[in-house]
Amino acid sequence: MEESESGETQNGRIVRTFLLVDVGEAVRYLRGRNGRTSEVAEKTVEKAIDAGSDETTTSTSPAQESQGRGMLSKLLLVGVVVGLGYLLKSRSGSVDEAVSKTTQQLHSVADKTAVRSGEVAQRTEAVVGQAAEGIQETGEMAADQVETGTEEAADRVRESGETAADQVQEGGQTAADQIDEAAETAEETQEQQGDEGEEASSEDDQSDDEE
C-alpha cells in the first residue's frame, strides 16, 4: 500500500510538473511579442501556477484523487484562458491588418483624388485656353469685318459724293449752255428786228421820194 501510494504521489508530482511547464509556456505565449494579452488572463494563469506549485509542495493525502480532478479543472480553465488570449491576439492582429488596409486604401484614394484633381485642373485650363483663343479669333474677325464694312461704306459715300458732284457739275454746265444759247438767240432776234426796221424805213424813204 505504501509503495502504491508513493508511486501515485510521484506520478502526481510528475503530472503537476508537466502542468506547470505547460502553464508557464501558455503564459509566455499569451504575453506574446506585442504584449497585448489581457491582464485578467495573466492573473488567472498565474493563480493556476501558484495553486499547482502549492499542491506539489504539500504532502500526500488520501484526497489526492480529488485534488487531481481539481487540477484537471484548473487545466481546463487555463486552456480556456489560452484560447481567449489566442482569440484576442488574433482579433488584435486582424484589427491591425484591417487598420493597415484601411490606411492604405485611404492613401490610394487620396492619391487617385489628387491625380483626378490635377487632370480636372488641366482640362479646365485647356478649355479656358481654347475659349480664350476662340473669343480672340471671334473678336479679330469681328474687327476685320467692321473695318471692311467701314471701308466699303466710306468708298460708297465717296463714290456717291463724286457722282453727285459730277451730276451737279453736269447740271451747271448744261444750264450755262442753255443760258448761252438763250442769250445768242435773243441777240439774233434783236439783230433780225433791227434789220427789218432798217428795211422798213428805207422803203418809206423810197415811197416819199417817188411822190
Residue 130 lies in a domain: no
**What average pLDDT does range 2-29 have in this prediction?**
46
Our measurement of the distance from residue 35's CA atom to the centroid of its chain's CA atoms, rounded to an integer in Å, reads: 46
Its domain, for residue 21, covers: 2-117
| pTM confidence score | 0.28
Interval 169-175 mean pLDDT: 76
| Domain presence at residue 169 | no
Q: Tell me whether residue 141 is in a domain.
A: no
Which residues have CB under 8 Å from 8's CB, separation 6+? Answer: 60, 64
> Domains in the chain: how many in total?
1
Q: Is residue 27 part of a domain?
A: yes
Q: Bigger pLDDT: 148 or 4?
A: 148
The answer to whether position 48 is within a domain reads yes
d(CA 91, CA 142): 74
- Statement: residue 9 has pLDDT above 60: no
- Distance CA(28)–CA(201), nearest Å, equals 175
On whether residue 40 sits in a domain, the answer given is yes
Region 113-132: mean pLDDT is 79
